[in-house]
Amino acid sequence: MENLIIIAIVACIVGGIILYLYKAKKRGETCIGCPYAKQCGGKCGGGCSK
């Protein structure tokens, strides 16, 4: 029973991550981890200029 609870929690976490990534790509963010994701030119080298 404990294994099922752990599997359900992990599945919810992974599902949430996948949903976040899907929505971020749909918003047009090219580099999801970058704080300048919407302004970046798509080459995330950490030095996105404003």
Provide the residue ranges of all domains of the chain, joining segments of one domain with +: 1-31
pLDDT for res 3: 96
pTM, to two decimals: 0.64
Which residue ranges in the chain fall short of pLDDT 50? Answer: 50
pLDDT for res 11: 98
Residue 36 contacts residue 48 (beta carbons within 8 Å): yes
pLDDT for res 43: 62
Sign of the C-alpha dihedral computed for residues 4, 10, 11 and 13 taken in this order:
positive
C-alpha distances out from residue 40 to 1, 5, 17, 37, 49, Å: 46, 40, 22, 5, 7
